[in-house]
Amino acid sequence: MNRNIETQDYILKQASESNVKFIRLWFTDITGGLKGFAINVEDLKDCMTNGVIFDGGAIEGLSREGENDTLAIPDLNTWQILPWRPNENAVARFICDLKRIDGRNLMVDSRQVLKHKLIEANKLGYKFYIGPEIEYYYLNSEKNISPGDDAGYFDQTSADSDGANLRRECVLILEQMGIPVRSSHHEVSPGQHEIDLRHTDALTMADSIMTTRLVVKETAHRLGGFATFMPRPFDKLNGSGLHLHLSLYKNEKNIFSEKNDKAISKIGESFMAGLIENAKEMTLITNQWANSYKRLLPNLEAPVAGYIDYQNIQDIVRVPPVFNNDDEKYRVEFRLPDAACNPYLAFATILNAGILGIKNKYKITKKIKSNIPNSLNEAIKANENSNFLKESIGTEAYNSYIDNKKKEWMGYNSLISEDERNFYMKFL
């Protein structure tokens, strides 16, 4: 029997037994926002067979110019019933790939971008695995944007009771949805938390990060609070990062592993060097918001943008210690991305940078110059005379993405803050 038919039959049966009424079709816009629309269960079979037409202009973010009929094709492997919705008239979801009406892949769809880059890597024999540390802030409410507790790093005190309840609920929901969680804890700053997912292949992990961000926000709302993945929401507190533990496999072997008392293999070192070499251009993807660059400052436990002549390599990448020479544990930790990036585009870009490092046998010098841009505008300009991002995510996605970022910067740069007004009006 056709496996696809078997999967469809299983989904139809579960939808009936679980009293599912609505199916949300999720997709991610070019800047990493989770979008979607719902169909009724009566259309579930046709949706799985033929997809659903919708206005694909929603995927273009700020650069949307008009109606654009697009086909949402559900990935049947992403079928999940949403645990936080009612049991009566329940709600399920699919994560979708987007195609043109003629059936061609829509390469401004960031999920397609990552799949395309993974196919390229697979042709070289590589499989890319990722384990993230996802940081966020839990606040009292959307109107009262103060941290939800006064606790600190790994605290287990009653001051963290609301945050601990949030983390507990999130972990239970994620695991109910088939997303394994490795650990969770309070982060350094008041109201800041972290959930770490178990490593898996890059596409599944990108889907999981998008789901996790929604689960955290939905759970915070149900508990009477508010959660944000804004890179740095408070001027006196740390920003929220997305530390990524990366490994590359070939012939079912982790090629970053090294048995000769070294921290990582030569291939792993070249992969790391590729990340450092291309960080200047990559930052536009991994740190895509104007606010992102307020996280990349000294003494905030994040890589430092170009304020200093040299920076410690561990600011950007590091090799975590491995015990008992466990092949599965050899990995590179990439610390540049923040929690608000588009994970599909970020993973595609990181993979391209690492493979370029392997192909060109890049090496890491003892001291590296800080090449991280100081602002979103600098990150945009860093890509004007470079083909790196175009090669990483494709010309179609690049053009849409860069247009979005230019519009964001123009809007951000035109804003006058209360602090700015108070500072200048006194003597100008």
Position 313, amino acid: I
pLDDT at 17 over 90: yes
Which one has a higher pLDDT value, 73 or 186?
A: 73
- Paired tokens of 392: 């990483």
Contact of 76 with 7, CB cutoff 8 Å: yes
- Paired tokens of 222: 């149900």
For the beta carbon of residue 32, count every other beta carbon within 10 angstroms: 23
Return d(Cα 129, Cα 93) in angstroms, integer. Answer: 24
- Paired tokens of 274: 């590729």
Q: What is the dihedral of CA 299, 206, 22, 109, to 10 degrees?
A: 110
Domains of the chain: 20-106 (3.10.20.70), 115-412 (3.30.590.10)
Q: What phi and psi values does residue 93 have, to the nearest 5 degrees?
A: -145, 155
Find, among 165, 334, 147, 346, the residue nearest to 238 by Cα. 147
Give the per-residue pLDDT at 309.
46
Return d(Cα 189, Cα 205) in angstroms, integer. Answer: 26
Give the per-residue pLDDT at 312.
58
pLDDT at 335 over 70: yes
Find, among 147, 167, 315, 329, the residue nearest to 243 by Cα. 315
Return d(Cα 185, Cα 136) in angstroms, integer. Answer: 11
For the beta carbon of residue 169, count every other beta carbon within 10 angstroms: 19
Range with the poorest average pLDDT among 237-241, 267-271, 361-365: 361-365
Return d(Cα 343, Cα 345) in angstroms, integer. Answer: 6
DSSP track, 173-202: HHHHTT--EEEEEE-SSTTEEEEEEPPEEH
Return d(Cα 271, Cα 71) in angstroms, integer. Answer: 36
The mean pLDDT of 155-161, rounded to a whole number, is: 60
pLDDT at 1 over 50: no
Q: Read off the pLDDT of residues 19-42 as tens digits, 9 standing for 90 and up.
A: 999 999 999 999 999 999 999 999
Give the per-residue pLDDT at 150.
63
Residues 6 or more apart in contact with residue 47 via CB below 8 angstroms: 23, 25, 39, 74, 94
The mean pLDDT of 144-171, rounded to a whole number, is: 70
Give the per-residue pLDDT at 304.
80
Distance between first and last Cα of the chain: 78
For the beta carbon of residue 54, count every other beta carbon within 10 angstroms: 21
Q: What is the dihedral of CA 151, 157, 159, 163, to 10 degrees?
A: 80
Contact of 170 with 215, CB cutoff 8 Å: yes
- Paired tokens of 223: 């508990």
The mean pLDDT of 371-393, rounded to a whole number, is: 94
Which one has a higher pLDDT value, 8 or 422?
A: 8
DSSP track, 28-96: E-TTS-EEEEEEEGGGHHHHHHH-EEEEGGGGGGGG--S--EEEEEEEEEEEEE-TTS-STTEEEEEEE
Average pLDDT over the chain reads 88
